[in-house]
Structure 1
């Protein structure tokens, strides 16, 4: 469930980017949950046209996903389709990270790749033709853009999983039957074991995503196919041609490259930021050698990560890790013994799990420590060193402690400890019983 702070921040982001009207519709969906367009209109007291346009903007910018549910209508006609809209909260938060996404891209790809993704981040969703038109309108003298080079750029970004095909516009969300049991609560062990989506938002996102092979693929037209289509289309009227194309698409299941819509894959960028954060954290705590080894392990196992919040990487043997390490310029100076020593260092801090001559990265441990240190830094800057020691003690102990015990352990004056604890509790850093 979203917190009040999370809701306010999301509304603030949407207001800054798209104005008050769109933000009002977004806030309604954030607070009320999935709604039909009619209900959004009722709650916001906006006109149908205003609601429609606001939803179109939010969908275009990947902040809202439409989905369909089937409801029995009590007649012989069968169930009735009902379109609802759900906010993609994480995608709204990603909007403030766009600058970081482009920085990552500029470090790995050329300027044309950066500009293509910049267009996708700005416009939300684009076809190849729209990307080409945008590139042509902003091309500089002596730097001409052609469709083939743009297509190659798109292929590179899709292959790297920084760009993906857009999801289904209105996926059908199947209701949970009584045989499957009641809906599992968010964070329940049964839901985690089975691996089912925990929220309606996650269920809708999962239902809308195309298959992996289709999600990260680029459709290219064969010249002969294009010529054949043009030849066949000469004998039909424009209206009939559109119907013919739609029928052909439905029957064959193959889309023309101009009709396929692409968007930036936020998961790919967040995964890359996550990896970068892990490497930087290890470098700060250990040394460049350990960071190089971790970087090599991430490079070797990244393709196997199906979710952004993966707890552990797939295991690798020492020889596989060394083979990956020496691929980089920084790792070519490392010997096998050096790599083995770095793995021991990583294991001592529980950053890497070793078992049966194989090693896997413990993402959860690295990120947990990094997050704790970040919060400790904030507490230190905001409340002082005494508050930092108190917060660190409670964070490390992971249990409730009495005020006197806290004061004695952290060497904070007993008269000052309650005041500091109250400030931290009031601002939501501590729990009190």
Structure 2
């Protein structure tokens, strides 16, 4: 079950997008865990017909999981619910990648949860029945082929955690006698591989082979050539992970640009783009290797890469030479130590380059923790956090000595940071009676605990932002103006039919809404780093 802040945020999201009755059903499942349909009816105090309709809506939009344990049980897919905060960004990404047609397809499927290709094309081709079907069919094929849309199967409506537990139990049952640690580890790996194989097989049903005869050849030499076409009988849903990969790549590019310069970020973006088709999981440790020539091919032709380097001669080197120099900088080639590798963005071996996702993820998570420590406890808090992260467990006197801080300043700062879960305390007793006077108290950074506590605070912030936006919108003066603007005649001529005072109220409201939206995007970016890129989003936890 989720914590209080996560439950409030999920309930608020469902209330905003599906209404109060559906939010009531979701709230019961969020607070009480898995329930059957009669239990939901009893706890929600709604009519069975209303509950069934709400459940159908949530299942259609992939917010509910099915569990068959002594009957059919329902459970909220919290990750899918929280992912709805990024739907606007997904539509924008689809427009940047596939044009207006791709954005309209993604938006339509997001609005309906899952749809079949004929239904998508018929809905979008209403205003252009001649050219529309071909345009949307081509865009839909690109989305499915690039894994931006994935088939919705029976497996996608079941909790992967349940299947993993069942597979692990089946593997453990095959072990005779008392299992060893090696056998238990092998059972977990086998369960992971089986679950991953099932997911890959389920995603392959979205495309089917269609034989096509090659024209321009004689009949006795004509051979059937197979091409992939989208299966019209399959329901497709948006693959959030593929869009999240683009968000991750943008964060990596911004980190390189901030550390070095814009040209370095441009080269790193070209490196990521060269392996974009093979990036299917956020959990990948590193990207597939690619050659320097592929990186050069992904660079814009009008960019001057020499502007980001201090060249020794006036003669401008070739683009390949400049790219090698930038990749050497990103790989920390001038510092071949453990510290240099930990600070690198890419790794180079035998004329191949790979982007080190795991190293970058660690630095991004650490930067978020340091930003929170600086905001709440100043530069001294960041100094202590870095000292404990790099060194490990230390007592108060060691922190004071190595950090060159007065002991009277260190003690209250450690207590305050411990209250915020940024650092933790480890007790090491000298004797069996655990006497406090004969006990070592060592401070250290429990990264998972700190990130989990910070993530809860970020969820609380997102909920407060949404409630603030709702309160501003429901203010009587603003609500009256917004209601008047929704009229057909007013929406066509706001300048003439709205008074100056009403236009000022409307401008102030739009300015407040813009500020809240920007703040929400910044908080959501931190959530993405800690949850989707962090250890909190891994399957092992």
| TM-score of Structure 1 vs Structure 2, range by shorter chain | 0.7 to 0.9
Quote the residue 1:165 is aligned against.
151
SS in 2 for 1:126: coil
Compared CA separation, residues 382 and 206, structure 1 to 2 (3 A): farther
- Counterpart Cα distance in 2 of 1:146 and 1:7: 42
1:346 aligns with 2:330: yes
Quote the residue 2:270 is aligned against.
296
Offset of residue 273 of structure 1? 0.8
Deviation string for 1:371-429 (max 9, x for gaps)? 211232233233333323333333333x2322333344444443333333223222222
1:88 aligns with 2:81: no
- Counterpart Cα distance in 2 of 1:341 and 1:327: 17
Deviation string for 1:93-128 (max 9, x for gaps)? 211112222232232232222122122222222233
1:194 aligns with 2:189: yes
- Counterpart Cα distance in 2 of 1:20 and 1:303: 41
- Counterpart Cα distance in 2 of 1:50 and 1:59: 14
Structure number with higher helix proportion: 2
Quote the residue 1:322 is aligned against.
293
Bigger Rg over Cα: 2
Compared CA separation, residues 415 and 400, structure 1 to 2 (3 A): same
Q: Which runs of 5+ in 1 are unaligned?
A: 72-81, 223-253
Q: Is the 8 A contact 1:36 1:83 kept in 2?
A: yes
CA RMSD after TM alignment = 3.9
Q: Is the 8 A contact 1:25 1:51 kept in 2?
A: yes
Quote the residue 1:422 is aligned against.
415
1:375 aligns with 2:357: no
Find the partner of 1:180 among 162, 171, 178. 171
Aligned positions of 1:216-227 closer than 5 A = 217=207
Deviation string for 1:176-212 (max 9, x for gaps)? 475511799xxx99379726449xxx96x98577534
- Counterpart Cα distance in 2 of 1:17 and 1:416: 49
Quote the residue 1:148 is aligned against.
134
Offset of residue 312 of structure 1? 1.4
* TM-score between the two structures when normalised by the length of structure 1: 0.72
Aligned positions of 1:5-16 closer than 5 A = 5-16=5-16
Compared CA separation, residues 255 and 277, structure 1 to 2 (3 A): closer
Quote the residue 1:335 is aligned against.
319
Offset of residue 150 of structure 1? 1.8
Aligned positions of 1:260-275 closer than 5 A = 260-275=234-249
Deviation string for 1:296-335 (max 9, x for gaps)? 332232333342211112233xxx2233323321678563
SS in 1 for 2:425: coil
Q: Which runs of 5+ in 2 are unaligned?
A: 213-228, 306-317, 333-342, 427-541
Aligned positions of 1:207-246 closer than 5 A = 211-215=202-206, 217=207
Aligned positions of 1:303-318 closer than 5 A = 303-316=277-290
Find the partner of 1:284 among 251, 258, 262. 258
Compared CA separation, residues 13 and 425, structure 1 to 2 (3 A): farther
Find the partner of 1:402 among 395, 399, 421. 395
Q: Is the 8 A contact 1:155 1:218 kept in 2?
A: no
For these two proteins, the number of residue pairs brought into alignment is 375
* TM-score between the two structures when normalised by the length of structure 2: 0.59
